């Protein structure tokens, strides 16, 4: 079942319920902020003091960072681009069976976006809610010249205790450490005991987030970079809409095209960044 709904302050979202899972996607940013498999805990972390208002990205879920990841050289422009704070159009839904629902959203250039990024585009996000979670972010270049994007599905995973989780699948991968600005090589699995903010490159396989009693698998497509971020104690204090102890129960693993993995899209051509996320209880 796919329905329109609103929070008490009028903030609009799409609610999805089928035999596999429930989900909620805000029209602002086509922002998936809830996904919960039947008989499981929510997959995604969501701040209990998040904003739900025009122009402010929800803190948690899966913000869409587009058409740039990170800061723009023009500091008057928003970090992580404008897609996550823009109002998207709900395009439609399909429910091929009782356990599967797909919903699609669209964002196109406007006078407002052209002032920030002078390119004509069509951006479509298709989210498939079933016993796995699939996102497909398709960029189409409507311009008469090529353009370059960086992007990320900035996924906040809910974890039981950040000091007891691990991430595998990045062994021997090069990464930019955003805290030191140094290039490093990953040695084995990733564990967390301080702030981590890394952009892994040459990523071409399955990632596994191991938590107390569940394993989360992430498979990306047309993406060769992954961002791993936990703000830990001091950075969390500086983050908007996050309680001071929020870092203990969240971890971002972001399917992306970031930094050296930027994507050049020719006129009338498209690129689709994809991620399939599976969660298994042990």
Q: Is the peptide bond before 67 cis (omega within 30 degrees of 0)?
A: yes
In the complex, the smallest distance separating the C-beta of residue 72 from ligand TA6, rounded to whole angstroms, is 12
Shorter beta-carbon distance to ligand TA6: residue 21 or 175: 175
Q: Kindly tell me which of 21 and 26 has the beta carbon lying closer to ligand TA6.
A: 26
Instruction: Report the residue number, 45 or 141, with the smaller CB distance to ligand TA6.
Output: 45
The distance of closest approach from Cβ of residue 197 to ligand TA6 in the complex, given in angstroms and rounded to an integer, is: 5
Structure tokens at 265: 């899209």
Nearest to 270 by CA among 154, 155, 151, 147: 147
Helix (H, G, I), strand (E, B) or coil at 265: strand
**How many Å is the maximal CA-CA distance in the chain?**
51
Q: Which is nearer to ligand TA6, 107 or 251 (CB)?
A: 251
CA distance 258 to 149: 9
User: Whose Cβ is closer to ligand TA6: residue 52's or residue 100's?
Assistant: 52
Quick check: helix, strand or coil at residue 199?
strand
Catalytic residue among 31, 154, 195, 244: 154
64-65 and 31-37 beta bridge pairing: unpaired
Coil vs helix vs strand at 126: strand
Residue nearest to ligand TA6 (CB): 229
* 31 included as an active-site residue: no
Q: In this structure, how many other beta carbons lie within 10 angstroms of the beta carbon of residue 72?
A: 17
- What is the C-alpha to C-alpha distance for residues 103 and 129, in angstroms, rounded to an integer? 8
In the complex, minimum distance from the CB of residue 262 to ligand TA6, in angstroms, rounded to a whole number? 15
Q: Is 119 marked active-site?
A: no
**Residue of 34, 80, 136, 254 marked catalytic:** 254
Residue 104 or 150: the one with the smaller Cβ distance to ligand TA6 is 150
CA 52, distance to chain mean position in Å, is 17
Q: Rounded to the nearest whole angstrom, what is the least distance from the CB of residue 92 to ligand TA6 in the complex?
A: 29
Q: How far is the CB of 137 from ligand TA6 (least distance, A)?
A: 16
In the complex, what is the shortest distance from the CB of residue 211 to ligand TA6, in angstroms, rounded to a whole number?
20
Cα distance between residue 173 and residue 175, in whole Å: 6
Residue 82's closest CA among 101, 91, 95, 69?
A: 69
Which of 155, 224, 159 has its CA nearest to residue 191? Answer: 159
Footprint on this chain of ligand TA6 (rule: CB under 6 A): 57, 70, 79-80, 154, 178, 197, 227, 229, 239, 252, 254
Cβ 197 vs Cβ 179: under 8 Å = yes
- Please list the active-site residues: 154, 254
């Amino acid at each position: 079942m796919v329905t329109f709904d609103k929070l008490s302050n009028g903030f609009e979202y799409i609610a999805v319920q089928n035999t596999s899972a429930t989900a909620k996607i805000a029209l602002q940013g086509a922002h998936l902020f809830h996904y919960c498999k039947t008989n499981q805990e929510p997959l995604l972390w969501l701040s209990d003091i998040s904003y739900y208002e025009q122009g402010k990205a929800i803190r948690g879920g899966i913000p869409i960072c587009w058409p740039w990841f990170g800061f723009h050289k023009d500091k008057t422009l928003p970090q992580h681009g404008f897609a996550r704070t823009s109002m998207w159009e709900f395009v439609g839904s399909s429910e091929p069976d009782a356990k599967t629902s797909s919903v699609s959203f669209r964002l196109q250039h406007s006078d407002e976006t052209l002032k920030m990024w002078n390119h004509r585009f069509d951006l479509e996000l298709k989210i498939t809610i079933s016993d796995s979670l699939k996102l497909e972010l398709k960029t189409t270049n409507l311009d008469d010249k090529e353009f370059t994007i960086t992007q990320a599905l900035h996924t906040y995973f809910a974890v039981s205790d950040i000091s007891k989780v691990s991430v595998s699948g990045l062994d021997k991968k090069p990464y930019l450490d955003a805290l030191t600005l140094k290039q490093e090589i990953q040695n084995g699995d990733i564990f967390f005991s301080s702030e981590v903010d890394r952009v892994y490159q040459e990523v071409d396989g399955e990632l596994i987030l191991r938590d107390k009693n569940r394993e989360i698998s992430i498979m990306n497509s047309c993406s060769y970079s992954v961002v791993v971020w936990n703000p830990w104690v001091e950075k969390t204090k500086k983050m908007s809409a996050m309680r001071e102890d929020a870092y203990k129960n969240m971890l971002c693993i972001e399917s992306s095209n970031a930094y050296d993995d930027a994507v050049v899209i020719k006129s009338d051509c498209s690129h689709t960044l994809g991620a399939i996320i599976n969660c298994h209880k042990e």
